[in-house]
């Protein structure tokens, strides 16, 4: 049944894409120049033409960017990049299921927190970037590293931040309590929007949680996660109590999912929303005058949102591993990273390209995420997310009468799942 | 059976269309069979090329049978049955067989391939760059059929191949960091490297005669690095050994390479685990606790759904079967509308309408009430039954309308003559007759609702979760959505467990349906 739904969703997306097909500027304009370039290089070295084909899976949000990038790649190597669109929720699962049969792609585009699952299933191969690693931001490499091996080439970093509607609030206080007070006195319907939904959303609450000194895992000296839960204990209980307080203050509610929060912000019903760069385009389209700011601390320590890093993985079953590595090599060039920034609008993972970006919004997100940690990528993280969200929502909607006890049960359950 | 059903042969036996060369039917058959054979042979060749020998055997046998059946005079019934049987084999028997097989394996995250690929993968990931070593721009050379690497080390060119470690090549031409020419060798161009990528990737050139120094390898044909394998595989003993001397032994029970201290290598491989998956539901205390709660709710949900939809459908059908109701056609058409909606879409729409803060039901219909329809256990159950009533009653309305119209009017007239009131007539005449034709559909409806995954998944996702439960299942989870939650959403995907659980559900539904059909046969005897 879920498949059906996704198929429908994909069909719907395909329709919308054809509808906005006229607007696909970058792809349209690069195509002709790319083909002339190919013929130019083809004359000098004839065998460059049709040097092979690589298959790459990307989800609907990234497929156009990679098609455009593929054109550029073809001009420099003669290798065709066949970009296949997959629904977001299917890229990873389908890849794990199909790679062993030999039907999978050579490369996939995905978030860094898939590393654990993909390595556990033995479907991705380590990538050796040599000295080029030093050109990347440290956290982006850290995100794609597991057991000392690098498993993908990062190209974009994103995190959530506090987005302020400048019309409804001009100044932002330094602590979250003051922020709530300010939001309430502003007269808007919601003091602050933090999306939750029926299953909870620990990701959007993490800036608050981390400010209580209750990180999901403790970190070692080199900043890597140790795999030991850090959110138990006294600090965790404090955060649980704070959740209850926010729910009583009507800041948090299970009824406000992602769509509801976004709509309420677009309608000017709240001065603040904690969200990521994916909603920015719509805010701009709606003509909202907004600023992107760090999330004020709720528990006294700096708030550290999770960093999500996008990258390209290499299938360990690829029959074209050498060509695929050439593409990964190309992904490490400033040209490719800057192209991806221009096409997708996220902070590049390559420091050289990131420094060249001059954008107020991205700078705001960068500032908000400067203390951030990559989202943990261990395979058990799936279980953590669900228990985590479920416990938080049970505190928020009041099913759990005692927040501290509910938090403790959650820790026990997560440890049980490991 | 084939022979008995053949028509008795009369003397001037008329040839069938498909055998008579003078009639178009023969050519139609010829073209169709030519197409079938063409596709079949294409499929055989394709599966030969990709070494899928089971598919090849299946295609070859099916094609042979098809040719025999459609060109033979004897197999007339088979001509009708064959296409259906082929689809049955592919879409039912194969799928069921595969599910049953998977149920006995540990197929899932960490065990998603056979043993050989797992070994290859372990070797591949353990062959890593030695930390702190340099990378070298590499030129790939060819002599005869043997590939070599050429690099520049400390200003001198060095060449080596799989058998021979790197050696100085004084007469080579160097341009910057790269060797551009070595007498006696051909330099491979990018396109040649691309076309021989497997050999290039597999090439390991030892740095020296001492294997501890490691070897050169390249991933992209332009840059090489010094690598060493962190693990050594011993094929005879089926073990991996790490440089520290830790031995990982293959454990065929778990499908993992395990060391004495309990650590293991990733990935593992698929092995048969017997009935473990079947017993886990009852022996794993994390599952068995919620399991019985959910089992009860599954039955309540399925039975209540059938009863409520049937009651409403029958009630409406009886009312609108009465000739005195005006505009019956319009009403009937309107009632069927919910049936025309895709179920999962309707569930999503209902989810929005039942939202506590923004839903139209609280906001508009109840004047701004704040009823937590989907967040409270009992209310969520009622909401699910309510939505399923809305979704399901049109079907019952349809079948009841049909069944009512087929009940002869004289029976009711006779009952009136005997002095029976309308209620008595309905109970003693209409309902028994109705049940004869509708009861099997009620059983089908029960079986459908027992596995009504899309409604639960889309409307509540099984929630609200049991607070603090060790597996993420909730008040409104039914068995099939519990399977989904346990086997897929709890972080690690466990296809083996999911298959075993769905087989258990199949057995339960099958048994109940069998009981039900036995009961309906008794109803028919009343006739």
Per-residue pLDDT of chain A (418 residues; tens, 9 = 90+): 343 444 444 444 333 333 333 333 333 333 333 333 333 333 334 444 567 889 999 988 888 889 999 998 988 888 899 999 998 888 998 999 889 888 889 999 999 989 988 998 999 999 988 888 889 998 899 889 888 889 999 999 999 999 999 999 888 899 999 999 999 888 889 999 999 988 889 999 999 999 998 989 888 776 677 778 888 889 999 999 999 999 998 889 888 888 889 999 999 999 999 999 989 989 999 999 999 999 999 988 999 999 999 999 999 999 889 899 999 999 999 999 999 998 888 899 999 898 888 889 999 999 998 888 889 888 778 778 888 988 998 899 888 888 999 899 889 888 877 7
| Token code pair at residue A117 | 């699952």
Overall number of domains in chain A: 2
Residues A264 and A336 in one domain: no
Chain A within 8 Å of B263 (Cβ-Cβ)? no
> Could you give the CA distance from residue A66 to residue A330 in angstroms, rounded to a whole number?
12
Residues comprising chain B, all counted: 527
Asked if B220 and A316 come within 8 Å (Cβ–Cβ), the reply is no
> Which residues 70-99 on chain A approach chain B with CB closer than 8 angstroms?
77-79, 93, 96-97
| pLDDT tens for each residue of B464-493 | 888 767 777 888 999 999 989 888 877 678
Q: Which residue of B has its CA nearest to A197?
A: B355
- The per-residue pLDDT for B79 is 86
Specify if A407 maps to a domain: yes
A171 shares a domain with A290:
yes
In a domain, A333, yes or no: yes
Whether chain B has a CB inside 8 Å of the CB on A199: the answer is yes
A328 domain residue, yes or no: yes
C-alpha A101/C-alpha B50 separation (Å) is 11
Kindly give the residue spans of alpha helices, DSSP state H, lying in A78-156. 88-98, 115-120, 138-143
Show residues of chain A in contact with B220, CB under 8 Å: 322, 325-326, 328-329
- Nearest by Cα to A70 from A309, A263, A339, A268: A339
Residue B113 reports pLDDT greater than 90? no
Distance of CA B492 to the CA centre of its chain: 16
φ, ψ of residue B218 to 5 degrees: the values are -135, 145
Beta bridge partners of B1: none
Q: Which of A417, A215, A243, A407 minimizes the C-alpha distance to A306? A: A215
Q: What is the DSSP letter of B14?
A: P
> Is A226 in the same domain as A334?
no
B132 touches chain A (CB under 8 A): no
Q: Does any CB of chain B come closer than 8 Å to the CB of residue A216? A: no
Return d(Cα B333, Cα B328) in angstroms, integer: 9
Across the interface, whether the CB atoms of B356 and A321 are under 8 A apart is answered: no
Q: Where are the beta strands (DSSP E) in A277-418?
A: 290-293, 306-314, 347-348, 373-374
The predicted pLDDT at position A32 comes to 37
φ/ψ of A358, rounded to 5, equals: -125, 95
Interface of B with A in 188-227 (CB under 8 A): 189-195, 197-198, 200-201, 219-223, 225
Range of the domain at A323: 17-158+308-368
Q: Which residues pair with residue A30 across a beta bridge?
A: none
Q: Is B451 on the interface with A (CB under 8 A)?
A: no
**Prediction ipTM score:** 0.73
d(CA B61, CA B204): 45
Residue B223 burial (CB count, 10 A): 18
What is the pTM (predicted TM-score) of this model? 0.76
**pLDDT of B411 strictly over 90:** no
Mutate to test the interface with B, among A96, A99, A122 (most CBs of B within 10 A): A122
Contact A312, A328 (CB under 8 A): yes
Q: CB–CB of A316 and B124 under 8 A?
A: yes
Q: Chain B: give the shortest CA distance to residue A360, in Å.
A: 34
> Kindly report the CA angle at A302 between A301 and A305, in degrees rounded to 5?
125
Is pLDDT above 90 for B34? Answer: yes
- Kindly tell me the number of DSSP H helices and DSSP E strands found in chain B: 19, 16
Is any Cβ of chain B less than 8 angstroms from the Cβ of A270? no
pLDDT at A10: 41
Count Cα atoms within 13 angstroms, Cβ side, for B179: 32
Q: Are residues A166 and A285 in the same domain?
A: yes
Considering the domain boundaries, does residue A7 fall inside one? no
pLDDT of residue A223: 67
d(CA A197, CA A180): 20
Q: Residue A113: which CATH number?
A: 3.40.190.10
In which band, very low, low, confident or very high, does the pLDDT at B14 lie, cut at 50, 70 and 90? low
Q: CA A213, CA A232: separation in Å to the nearest integer?
A: 10
Type and span of the H or E element at B401: helix B377-405
Is residue A404 located within the same domain as residue A277?
A: yes
Concatenated DSSP letters of B288-307: HHHHHHHHHHHHHHHHHHHH
Query: What is the radius of gyration, based on Cα positions, of chain B?
Result: 35
> How far does chain B reach from its first CA to its final CA, in angstroms?
34
Q: Are A4 and B454 within 8 A, CB to CB?
A: yes
**Distances B43 to A82, B29, B49, B89, B395 between C-alpha atoms, Å:** 24, 21, 10, 17, 42
Characterize B236-260 residue by residue with b for buried, 16 or more Cβ atoms within 10 angstroms of its Cβ, and e for exposed.
Answer: eeebbeeeeeeebebeeeebbbbbe
Stated as kind and residue range, the H or E segment containing A363 is: helix A360-368
Taking only Cα atoms into account, the Rg of chain A, rounded to an integer number of angstroms, comes to: 22
> What's the rounded Cα separation, in Å, for the pair B54 and B60?
10
Let me know whether A39 and A138 are in one domain: yes
Which residues lie closer than 8 Å to B270 by C-beta, 6 or more apart? B105, B106, B107, B111, B112, B113, B114, B255
Q: Residue B122: beta bridge partners?
A: none
Give yes or no: residues A351 and A395 share one domain.
Answer: no
Name the residue among A255, A317, A409 with its Cβ closest to that of B468: A409
Whole-number Å distance between alpha carbons of B454 and B350: 13
- Pair (A21, A119) in one structural domain: yes
Per-residue confidence (pLDDT) for residue A49, from 0 to 100: 53
DSSP bridge partners of A156: A310, A348
Q: What pLDDT, on a 0 to 100 scale, did the predictor assign at position B527?
A: 52
Better pLDDT: A254 or B463: A254
Question: Alpha helix (H) ranges present in B178-321?
Answer: 190-195, 197-202, 276-283, 285-320
* CA distances, B355 to each of A5, A391, B301 (Å): 21, 20, 22
Could you tell me if residue A10 is inside a domain?
A: no
A residues 103..122 contacting B (CB < 8 A)? 117, 119-122
Interatomic CA distance for residues B382 and B392, integer angstroms:
15
Instruction: Reply yes or no on whether the pLDDT at B365 is more than 60.
Output: yes
Instruction: Tell me the C-alpha to C-alpha distance, in Å, between residue A253 and each of A191, A250, B420.
Output: 12, 7, 58
Write out pLDDT tens, residues B142-164: 888 888 898 888 888 889 888 88
Residues A263 and A388 in one domain: yes
Residues of B in contact with A254 (CB under 8 A): 356, 375
For residues A278 and A323, membership in a common domain is answered with no
Distance from CA of A104 to the nearest CA of B (A): 13
> Which residues are CB-contacts of B210 (< 8 A; sequence separation ≥ 6)?
none
Query: How far is it, in rounded angstroms, from Cα A180 to Cα A104?
Result: 49
Q: Report the Cα A39 to chain-centroid distance in Å.
A: 38
Q: How far is A406 from chain B (nearest CA, A)?
A: 7
What's the token pair of residue B363?
């906001």
Please report where in the chains the tokens 């009935």 appear, as a residue. B275
Structural domain includes residue A6: no
- Does one domain contain both A275 and A397? yes
Q: Is residue A64 part of a domain?
A: yes
**Is the Cβ of A392 closer than 8 Å to some Cβ of chain B?**
no
pLDDT of A27 = 35
CA distance A90 to chain B (A): 13
DSSP-derived 3-state class of residue B423: helix
Measured between CB atoms, does A193 come within 8 Å of chain B? no
- A171 plus A299 within the same structural domain: yes
Answer whether residue B2 shows pLDDT above 50.
no
Do B495 and B513 contact (CB within 8 A), yes or no? no
The answer to whether residue A9 sits within a structural domain is no
């Amino acid at each position: 049944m879920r498949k059906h739904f996704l198929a429908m969703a994909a069909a719907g997306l395909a329709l919308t894409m054809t509808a906005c097909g006229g607007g696909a500027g970058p792809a349209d304009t690069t195509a002709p120049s790319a083909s002339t370039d190919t013929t130019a290089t083809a004359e000098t070295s004839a065998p460059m033409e049709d040097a092979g084909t690589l298959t790459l899976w990307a989800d609907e949000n990234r497929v156009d960017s990679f098609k455009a990038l593929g054109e550029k790649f073809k001009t420099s190597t003669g290798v065709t990049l066949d970009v296949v669109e997959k629904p977001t929720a299917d890229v990873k699962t389908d890849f794990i299921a199909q790679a062993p049969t030999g039907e999978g792609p050579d490369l996939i585009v995905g978030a860094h927190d898939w590393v654990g699952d993909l390595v556990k299933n033995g479907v991705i191969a380590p990538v050796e970037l040599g000295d080029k690693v030093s050109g990347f931001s440290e956290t982006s490499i850290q995100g794609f590293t597991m057991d000392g091996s690098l498993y993908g080439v990062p190209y974009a970093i994103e995190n959530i931040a506090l987005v302020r509607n400048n019309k409804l609030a001009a100044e932002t206080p330094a602590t979250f309590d003051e922020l709530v007070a300010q939001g309430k006195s502003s007269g808007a319907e919601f003091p602050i929007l933090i999306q939750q939904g029926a299953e909870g959303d620990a990701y959007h609450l993490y800036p608050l949680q981390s400010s209580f000194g209750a990180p999901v895992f403790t970190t070692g000296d080199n900043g890597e996660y140790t795999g030991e839960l850090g959110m138990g204990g006294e600090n965790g209980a404090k955060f649980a109590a704070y959740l209850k307080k926010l729910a009583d203050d009507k800041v948090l509610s299970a009824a406000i999912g992602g769509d509801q929060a976004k709509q309420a912000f677009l309608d000017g019903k709240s001065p603040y929303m904690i969200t990521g760069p994916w909603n920015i385009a719509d805010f701009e389209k709606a003509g909202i005058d907004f600023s992107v700011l760090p999330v004020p601390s709720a528990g006294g320590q700096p708030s550290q949102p999770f960093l999500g890093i996008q990258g390209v993985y290499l299938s360990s079953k690829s029959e074209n591993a050498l060509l695929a590595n050439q593409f990964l090599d190309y992904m490490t060039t400033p040209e490719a990273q800057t192209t991806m920034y221009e096409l997708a609008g996220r902070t590049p993972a390559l420091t050289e390209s990131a420094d060249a970006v001059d954008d107020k919004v991205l700078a705001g997100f960068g500032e908000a995420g400067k203390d951030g940690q990559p989202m943990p990528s261990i395979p058990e993280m799936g279980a953590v997310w669900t228990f985590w969200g479920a416990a938080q929502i049970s505190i928020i909607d009041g099913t759990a009468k005692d927040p501290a006890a509910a938090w403790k049960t959650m820790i026990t359950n997560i440890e049980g799942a490991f | 059976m084939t022979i008995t059903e053949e028509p008795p042969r009369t003397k001037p036996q008329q040839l069938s269309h498909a055998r008579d060369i003078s009639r178009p039917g023969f050519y139609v058959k010829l073209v169709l069979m030519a197409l079938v054979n063409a596709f079949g042979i294409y499929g055989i060749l394709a599966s030969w090329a990709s070494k899928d020998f089971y598919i090849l055997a299946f295609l070859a046998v099916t094609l042979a049978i098809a040719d025999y059946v459609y060109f033979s005079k004897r197999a007339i019934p088979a001509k009708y049955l064959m296409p259906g049987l082929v689809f049955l084999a592919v879409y039912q028997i194969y799928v069921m067989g595969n599910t049953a097989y998977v149920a006995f394996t540990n197929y899932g995250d960490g065990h998603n391939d056979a043993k050989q690929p797992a070994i290859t993968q372990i070797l591949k990931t353990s062959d890593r760059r030695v930390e702190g070593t340099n990378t070298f721009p590499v030129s790939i050379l060819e002599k005869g059929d043997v590939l070599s690497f050429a690099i520049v080390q400390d200003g001198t060119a060095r060449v080596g191949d799989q058998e021979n470690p790197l050696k100085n090549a004084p007469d080579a031409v160097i341009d910057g960091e790269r060797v551009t020419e070595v007498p006696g060798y051909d330099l491979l161009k990018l396109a040649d490297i691309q076309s021989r990528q497997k050999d290039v990737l597999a090439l390991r050139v030892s740095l020296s005669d001492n294997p501890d120094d490691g070897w050169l390898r390249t991933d992209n044909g332009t840059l090489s690095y010094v690598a060493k394998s962190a693990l050594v595989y011993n094929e005879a003993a089926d073990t991996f050994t790490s440089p520290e001397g830790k031995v990982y032994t293959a454990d065929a029970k778990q499908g993992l390479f395990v060391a004495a201290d309990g650590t293991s290598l990733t990935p593992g491989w698929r092995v048969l685990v017997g009935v473990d998956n079947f017993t886990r539901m009852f022996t794993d205390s994390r599952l068995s606790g919620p399991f019985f709660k959910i089992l009860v709710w599954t039955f309540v949900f399925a039975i209540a759904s059938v009863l409520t939809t049937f009651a409403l459908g029958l009630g409406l059908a009886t009312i609108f079967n009465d000739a005195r109701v005006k505009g019956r056609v319009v009403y009937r058409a309107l009632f069927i509308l919910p049936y025309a909606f895709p179920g999962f879409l309707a569930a999503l729409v209902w989810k929005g309408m039942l939202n506590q803060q923004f839903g139209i039901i609280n906001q508009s219909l109840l004047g701004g009430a704040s009823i937590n329809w989907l967040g409270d256990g009992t209310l969520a159950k009622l909401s699910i039954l309510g939505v399923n009533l809305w979704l399901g009653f049109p079907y019952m309305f349809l079948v009841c309308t049909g069944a009512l119209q087929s009940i002869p009017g004289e029976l009711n007239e006779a009952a009136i003559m005997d002095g029976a009131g309308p209620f008595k007539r309905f109970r003693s005449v209409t309902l028994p007759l109705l049940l004869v034709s509708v009861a099997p559909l009620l059983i089908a409806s029960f079986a459908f609702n027992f596995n009504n995954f899309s409604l639960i998944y889309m409307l509540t996702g099984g929630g609200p979760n049991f607070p603090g439960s060790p597996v993420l299942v909730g008040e409104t989870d039914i068995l099939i959505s519990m399977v989904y939650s346990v086997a897929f959403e709890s972080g690690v995907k466990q296809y083996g467990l999911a298959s075993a659980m769905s087989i258990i559900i199949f057995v339960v539904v099958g048994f109940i349906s069998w009981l039900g059909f036995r009961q309906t046969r008794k109803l028919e005897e009343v006739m």
